[in-house]
Chain A
Amino acid sequence: MHPFDLKAALLAKHAQHVVLIHFPIALFIAGVAFDFLAQWTKQRVLAAAAYCNLLAAAVATVPVVITGILAWQWQLEGQRLKGVLLMHLVLGCASSLLIWIVAVVHLRALRKLGGVLPGFRLPIEALGVALVTLTGHLGGFLSGVNLSN
């Protein structure tokens, strides 16, 4: 199979959730890093970069949540989850919610507060990064990426 065969990539038999999940994770962490840097250096260009990344991260969570729920419903036939799977689902939903809250805070600040960002967003962003990291760790554990040997 050619590595750049678009049709093969889109119609691949593997779960798309494990592919798509990397986009919101990377965008959100990059967005938070830009926002903390913007807060520290007071540079507007960094704040703009943070805004774009955080908004894109929020949008990217939509297909991730959909494919995750579809994987649960199709591959596991909607069985009652427990253990690591349940933890991954709960943390994934909580992470998505936090990503959206952060994005909305930034969006609202730009439109209604003249670009002045509230200070309470920073601990929320830090919590979001912690949750995303934990969810990703569990996801990696479930998929086998985090194998010890």
Chain B
Amino acid sequence: MRRSVSIAVLTVALATGVGTITVDQKNILASAQQKPETTEVKIDNFSFGPATLTAPVGTTITWSNRDDIPHTVVSTDGVFKSKVLDTDEKFSFTFSKSGTYPYFCSIHPKMTGKIIVQ
């Protein structure tokens, strides 16, 4: 009888422990997924670096002008558009939908880049 009770108690304790661990793992995963990531694209020497960037949905991309002259960040599809960025100025945009977002500098249209949101 004692043995049966002990086994029952152990089983309940194990089940509770596993359940708690599973719930904790789910919470950690969920919080990791919900937390928005921030990624930087550097503008330097008349180019965007990296030129193509892949990021998950919800990521905030920050473009930072490290060049000596002004640049802009303009989405080809009109999704986002920065003001003229002087040296060390930044522009951020949060991508809430998946897709491919090509962009360019409107002062120097040969400067192009692409954000792939998955």
B45 near A81: Cβ-Cβ < 8 Å:
no
Whole-angstrom CA separation of A144 from B71 in the bound complex: 11
A82 near B69: Cβ-Cβ < 8 Å:
no
Rounded to whole Å, the gap between the CB of A93 and the closest CB of chain B is 19
A144 near B109: Cβ-Cβ < 8 Å:
no
Rounded to whole Å, the gap between the CB of A68 and the closest CB of chain B is 12
Does A83 interact with chain B (Cβ within 8 Å)?
yes
Whole-angstrom CA separation of A75 from B106 in the bound complex: 6
Please indicate the chain A residues that have their CB under 8 angstroms from the CB of B109 in the complex.
Answer: 13-14
Query: Please, what's the 1-or-0 string for A85-114, where 1 marks a CB less than 8 Å from any CB in chain B?
Result: 100000000000000000000000000000
Please indicate the chain A residues that have their CB under 8 angstroms from the CB of B45 in the complex.
Answer: 147, 149
Does B84 interact with chain A (Cβ within 8 Å)?
yes
A142 near B106: Cβ-Cβ < 8 Å:
no
A144 near B86: Cβ-Cβ < 8 Å:
no
Whole-angstrom CA separation of A144 from B106 in the bound complex: 13
B108 near A143: Cβ-Cβ < 8 Å:
yes
Please indicate the chain A residues that have their CB under 8 angstroms from the CB of B106 in the complex.
Answer: 75-76
Does A41 interact with chain B (Cβ within 8 Å)?
no
Does B107 interact with chain A (Cβ within 8 Å)?
yes
Does B56 interact with chain A (Cβ within 8 Å)?
no
Whole-angstrom CA separation of A141 from B83 in the bound complex: 19
Can you name 15 A-B pairs with beta carbons within 8 Å?
A13-B109, A14-B109, A75-B106, A75-B107, A76-B72, A76-B84, A79-B83, A82-B86, A83-B70, A83-B86, A142-B69, A142-B70, A144-B69, A147-B46, A149-B45
